[in-house]
């Protein structure tokens, strides 16, 4: 259906009106970006408020603060100065927490030490931090990343029942503790962190 606007004939009024709305939104966003300090940081953070389905298609906005800010920005093309300030406050708080965590981790990593000497048989009380699963041609192998009471890192790669299973026959997971004897295979460093690799672990009876 056509419509006449001025002296021009609009063949598709709905598409025309939608194009006008898009232009208005784009101009509003352009103006907001030009007048808002750290606009790129704010706009990047607003993506946390958008909800997508499993195929990556837009579904709507979250029900939290960032969702409401994203809805405002993509509906009106801007945030108010107070809204922009609130988003920046959240960005800065998150960055501060991240920096604090990085500092604590760096201090902890600097204090980690190798355990024992290569070839030595030791008794270790450990806590499992992570379990990495490797599927290969010869079956599944597990890498256990563990720590002792002093936060020293111990690595075991294999399928030993002494590490994988509790005395009650339950599979061990993150946070589980165990006491074993094992032989120190090597002392290594990964990402700047000292770690002790063990082999032939056996349960302490």
pTM exceeds 0.75? no
Residue 10 has a pLDDT of 56
Residue 104 has a pLDDT of 95
Residue 21 has a pLDDT of 84
Alpha-carbon separation of residue 40 from 61, 62, 76, 140 (angstroms) = 19, 20, 17, 45
Consecutive 10-residue averages of pLDDT for the chain (205 residues): 52 70 92 96 96 93 96 95 97 97 94 96 97 87 96 96 93 96 96 96 90
Residue 16 has a pLDDT of 61
Residue 14 has a pLDDT of 66
């Amino acid at each position: 259906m056509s419509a006449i606007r001025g002296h021009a004939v609009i063949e598709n009024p709905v598409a025309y009106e939608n194009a006008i709305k898009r232009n208005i939104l784009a101009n509003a966003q352009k103006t907001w970006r030009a007048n808002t300090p750290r606009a790129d940081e704010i706009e990047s953070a607003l993506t946390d408020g958008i909800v997508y389905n499993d195929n990556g298609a837009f579904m709507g906005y979250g029900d939290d603060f960032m969702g409401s800010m994203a809805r405002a920005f993509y509906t009106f093309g801007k945030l108010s100065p107070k809204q922009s300030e609130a988003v920046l406050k959240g960005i800065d708080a998150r960055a501060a927490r991240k920096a604090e965590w990085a500092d604590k981790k760096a201090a902890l990593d600097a204090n980690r030490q190798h355990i024992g000497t290569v070839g030595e048989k030791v008794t270790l009380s450990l806590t499992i931090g992570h379990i990495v699963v490797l599927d290969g041609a010869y079956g599944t192998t597990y890498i256990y990343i563990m720590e002792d009471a002093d936060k020293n890192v111990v690595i075991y790669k294999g399928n030993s029942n002494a590490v994988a299973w509790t005395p009650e026959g339950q599979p061990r997971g993150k946070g589980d503790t165990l006491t074993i004897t094992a032989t120190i295979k090597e002392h290594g460093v990964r990402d700047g962190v000292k770690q002790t690799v063990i082999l032939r672990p056996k349960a302490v009876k």
